[in-house]
Amino acid sequence: MSHTRTLRDLVNECRVELERQGVDSPALSAEILAAHALGMRRLDIVVHANRELSAEQVAAVRALVSRRAAGEPVAYILGEKEFYGLDFAVSPAVLVPRPETELIVEEVERLFSPCDAFTFADFGTGSGCLAVTIASLFPKARGIAVDMSAVALAVAAANARRHGVADRLCFVRADFGRAVVADGSLDLIVANPPYVSAAEYAEVSREVADHEPHSALVPAVGEGVLSNGLESVRALAPRAAVALRPGGHLLMEFGWKQGVAVRDILLSPEGGAFSRAEVRTDLAGLDRYVLADTAE
Question: Residues annotated as binding site for S-adenosyl-L-methionine?
Answer: 124-128, 147, 176, 192
d(C-alpha 212, C-alpha 193), whole Å: 14
Contacts within 8 Å (CB) and 24+ apart, 42-50: 45/7, 45/11, 48/7, 49/6, 49/7, 49/8, 50/6, 50/7, 50/8
Q: What is the longest distance spanned by two Cα atoms in the chain?
A: 72
Binding residues: 124-128, 147, 176, 192-195
Binding residues for substrate: 192-195
End-to-end CA distance of the chain: 72
Question: Do residues 143 and 129 make contact, with C-beta atoms less than 8 angstroms apart?
Answer: no
d(C-alpha 144, C-alpha 139), whole Å: 15
d(C-alpha 11, C-alpha 49), whole Å: 9
Other residues' Cβ atoms within 10 Å of the Cβ of residue 226: 12
Q: Between β-strands 276-281 and 169-173, what pairing exists: parallel, antiparallel or unpaired?
A: unpaired
> What is the identity of the amino acid at 122?
D
Look at residues 103, 170, 166, 159 and name the one whose alpha carbon lies nearest to residue 128: 159
- What is the phi/psi pair of residue 126, to 5°? 60, -120
